Structures are given as C-alpha cells and as structure tokens.
C-alpha cells in the first residue's frame, strides 16, 4: 500500500506514521527527516535546505522532488510506503502521480490554535525520532531508547506561524487534489484515539 499523510505541522503525522509503520509493515518516509539527515551530514542538499527550513519556508520543489524520487526507488519501498510531509505543493503531488500510484491519503485535522499550543512543547528523540510533548512528558531522555530529547530549531513561535501560513497557502489545496482518495480524521491529543479510525480504514483497504 502507498499512503500519504497530509496535515499541518504538529498535526501528529510523525506519530501516526510510526504506528502505521509497525502494524502494516510499511516504510515511513519523512522528507523533513531526510533534509535533517542531509543537514547533519553537511551535504549540498542539506546546506541549501537549511536556509529555507530555518525560516519556516518550503524547500524548492525541484530539490525536494528529486530527493524523494531517489528515496522511493530504494528496494525497501517495493511493497509500499507512508509519505509523511510529502507532497506539500500541487507541483509535488503532480510529480508524484507521474512516479507511482498512491492508494490512499489520510488527512489529520487539527485547529491552528491547538497546533500553536502543541508546537512549543514538542521534543524529539535524537536517536529513534520518537516524539514527546512537555505537557505529558517533561523528562529529557527517550522512554524507548534512552537517548537525549531535543527541541528542533524550527519549533519556535515565529517559524511555526510561518509554517502554518505556508501550509494554508501551498499544502491545503492538496485536500481537493486527493478528494477521491481522502480519509479525514480529527488529530486528537491522545495518539491512540487518532489511530483507531485510521487503522480501521487501512484494514479495509487490504
């Protein structure tokens, strides 16, 4: 199965992707993670991406599309994947249509006020990528692997507001683009409550 997770930043795409990945044995591909990996390794793509990411802007389509294209050509994607954070523009969605057939799109619906509240409390595991929020977990190490948690450079109010504006303008039009394959769910505070209807929906697709 080839699946897209659509939703504003902080809507819980990463957490949901991890749950789907383990139950349905699909590879999770996050373009944000791919960019961060490139930044850590000091690659050309990474250096270019950082200038956009730090401002809360999208990395140009040409760069993002070729990075994604290379990633989904890998052997581990043969049986399907979950795209988390791609596509984010209609141009990316059109490019993806030409590369492969997407079976379903899950939209995580969360009000922007709620997103701002979540945004500043997000902490990410430096090793396994597990996501926490200081409102429910205020320790500094990961429960799963014990590695230190960190706050992403782009998780600050100014950047978050920019990212929401970018989402509204450039990514929200994808809701119409994928209307024929879309399953919308409310992104709840408790990830299990969000996951249940999604799991039922995906089981119906098998």
Shortest distance, CB of residue 166 to ligand AMP, whole angstroms? 7
Q: Which helix (H) or strand (E) holds 199?
A: helix 191-205
In the annotation, is 118 catalytic? Answer: no
Using CB under 6 A, which of 35, 132, 178, 195 touches ligand AMP?
35
Is 163 marked active-site? yes
Nearer to ligand AMP, 171 or 194 (CB): 171
Q: Which residues contact 107 (CB under 8 A, 6 or more apart)?
A: 6, 7, 175, 182, 183, 184, 185
- Annotated active-site residue 18? The verdict is no
Interacting span for ligand AMP (CB under 6 A) from 27-35, 69-77, 124-132, 180-188: 27-35
The reply to whether 112 sits near ligand AMP by the rule CB under 6 A is no
The reply on whether position 86 binds ligand AMP by CB under 6 A is yes
Catalytic residue among 78, 152, 169, 205: 152
Cis peptide before 87 (omega within 30 of 0): yes
The residue (of 45 and 58) whose beta carbon lies closer to ligand AMP is: 58
Q: How far apart are CA 80 and CA 131, in angstroms?
A: 23
13 is catalytic: yes
Q: How far apart are the first and last CA of the chain?
A: 8
- Taking CB under 6 A as the criterion, the residue among 6, 29, 39, 59 binding ligand AMP is 59
Whether 11 and 17 have beta carbons less than 8 Å apart is answered as no
Three-state SS at 68:
helix
Strand order in the sheet with 131-133: 131-133, 122-125, 149-150
Residue 30 Cβ vs ligand AMP, minimum distance, rounded to whole Å: 6
User: Catalytic residues, which ones?
Assistant: 13, 88, 122, 152, 163
* Contact footprint for ligand AMP (CB under 6 A): 9, 30-32, 35, 52-53, 56-59, 64, 85-88, 92, 154, 163
């Amino acid at each position: 199965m080839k699946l897209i997770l659509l939703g504003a930043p902080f809507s819980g795409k990463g957490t949901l992707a991890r749950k789907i990945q383990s139950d349905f044995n699909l590879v999770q591909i996050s373009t944000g993670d791919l960019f961060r990996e490139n930044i850590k390794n000091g690659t050309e793509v990474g250096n270019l991406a950082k200038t956009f990411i730090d401002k809360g802007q999208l990395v140009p389509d040409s760069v993002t599309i070729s990075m994604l294209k290379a990633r989904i050509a890998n052997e581990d994607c043969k049986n399907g994947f979950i795209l988390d954070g791609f596509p984010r523009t209609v141009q990316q969605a059109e490019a993806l249509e030409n590369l492969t057939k997407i079976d379903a799109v899950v939209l995580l619906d969360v009000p922007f006020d709620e997103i701002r509240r979540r945004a500043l409390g997000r902490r990410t595991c430096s090793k396994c990528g597990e996501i926490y929020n200081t409102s429910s977990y205020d320790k500094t190490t990961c429960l799963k692997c014990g590695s230190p948690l960190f706050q992403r450079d782009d998780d600050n109010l100014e950047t978050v507001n920019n990212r929401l504006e970018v989402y509204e303008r450039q990514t929200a039009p994808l809701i119409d683009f994928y209307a024929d394959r879309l399953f919308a769910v409310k992104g709840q505070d408790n990830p299990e409550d969000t996951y249940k209807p999604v799991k039922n929906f995906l089981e119906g697709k098998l």
